[in-house]
Amino acid sequence: MPIAEDSELPPGLALAWGLPAKSTKLGRKPSQSIEQIVGAAVDLADADGFGALSMPKIAQRLGLTANAIYRYVRSRDELLVLVAEAAWGPAPDLAAGTGDWRDAANVWTRAMIDRFDVHPWLCDLPVRGAPVTPNLLDWTEAILEVLTGAGLPPAEALGCAFVLDGYARQIGGMRRDLRYSTAPPTQSDTVTRFLLPRLRERGHSVLASMMDGNDYTDDVADDDVTFGLDLILDGIDALVTAKRAAEPAAQGRRGDRSPERTDQ
């Protein structure tokens, strides 16, 4: 299979697929590997967040000069592709579950949320398009196999996967923001005493009763994740059920067609 020139590919794609980087002819033989560069970048982001992912800081962490790191990757954009690929890691094994599509979709979405908990800075990585690197394609294929296996056509399966992906990112981002917030907590006895009379003055009886009962909190608990995910899966389930119901009807219509008469 012919391989496109690196200049025709998005940054980092060839490296993500294990193709050797073209030499930049910047001097002596590199002392590090791509894997070491990416590993150092992941460690740096885990420690100091997405904002720490600069080429000079990564070079410093490895004892390289700022220019030397360009022997390995040609740009920060290229490095971010490789860092995302490493941080996402292998797709979850959905075949090990109960065999039910809903259980598998639940496992897949929670595995995404787990990745955001392990590497919170993934929430900050820009999404540059559809997945094209090995691990991310494996994640995509895993959920598409589940949803098409349930009876959805590929385009609708991809749309459902997009909704599940967005939900996982939303939960991951909220958890990250709450975990690393340096602002005073908005839920406290002092805040509650301040807000309750004002809520009642505005006629916000539902919010007032929730706050008074400690049901209005900052946390994104597992029960909250389950509630939202179940709503999404209920919607997908309705779509799957409709597709399954429509298929026998369509087959029946095809079977009812009488052959054309050939007698004169």
Query: How many C-beta atoms surround the C-beta of residue 253 within 10 A?
Result: 9
Reported as a pLDDT band with limits 50, 70 and 90, residue 9 is: confident
pLDDT of residue 159: 97
Tokens of 63: 């004892």
Q: 90-142: per-residue pLDDT in tens?
A: 999 998 656 799 999 999 999 999 999 999 999 999 888 899 999 999 999 99
Burial of 239 (0-12, 13-18, 19+ CB in 10 A): middle
In whole angstroms, how large is the CA radius of gyration of the chain? 25
pLDDT in the model for residue 97: 59
Q: What is the pLDDT of residue 106?
A: 96
pLDDT at 184: 74
Compute CA distances 249 → 156, 237, 238, whole Å: 20, 19, 17
Greater pLDDT, 147 or 219: 147
pLDDT band at 7 (very low <50, low <70, confident <90, very high): low
pLDDT in tens, 194-230: 999 999 999 999 999 999 988 888 788 889 999 999 9
> Which value, to the nearest 10 degrees, does the dihedral of the CA atoms of residues 199, 201, 202, 208 take?
30
Least confident of 28-32, 47-51, 57-61, 164-168: 28-32
Can you give the pTM of this predicted structure?
0.85
- Please say if the pLDDT value at position 252 is more than 90: no
Q: Using CB atoms within 10 Å of the CB of residue 98, give its burial: 0 to 12 exposed, 13 to 18 middle, 19+ buried.
A: exposed
Which string of b and e fits 203-232 if b means at least 16 CB within 10 Å?
A: eeeebbeebeeeebeeebeeeebeeebeeb
CA–CA distance, 41 with 35 (Å, rounded to integer): 10
Q: What is the pLDDT of residue 260?
A: 54
Residue 172 has pLDDT above 70, yes or no: yes
What pLDDT, on the 0 to 100 scale, is given for residue 19?
Answer: 84
Give the pLDDT band (50/70/90) at residue 259: low
Q: Domains in the chain, start-ordered, CATH in brackets?
A: 7-88 (1.10.10.60), 94-182+214-244 (1.10.357.10)
Q: What are the pLDDT digits (tens) for 37-89? A: 999 999 999 999 999 999 999 999 999 998 899 988 999 999 999 999 999 99
- The Cα-based distances of 182 to 12, 178, 187, 194 in angstroms read 35, 9, 14, 21
**What pLDDT shows up at residue 187?**
75
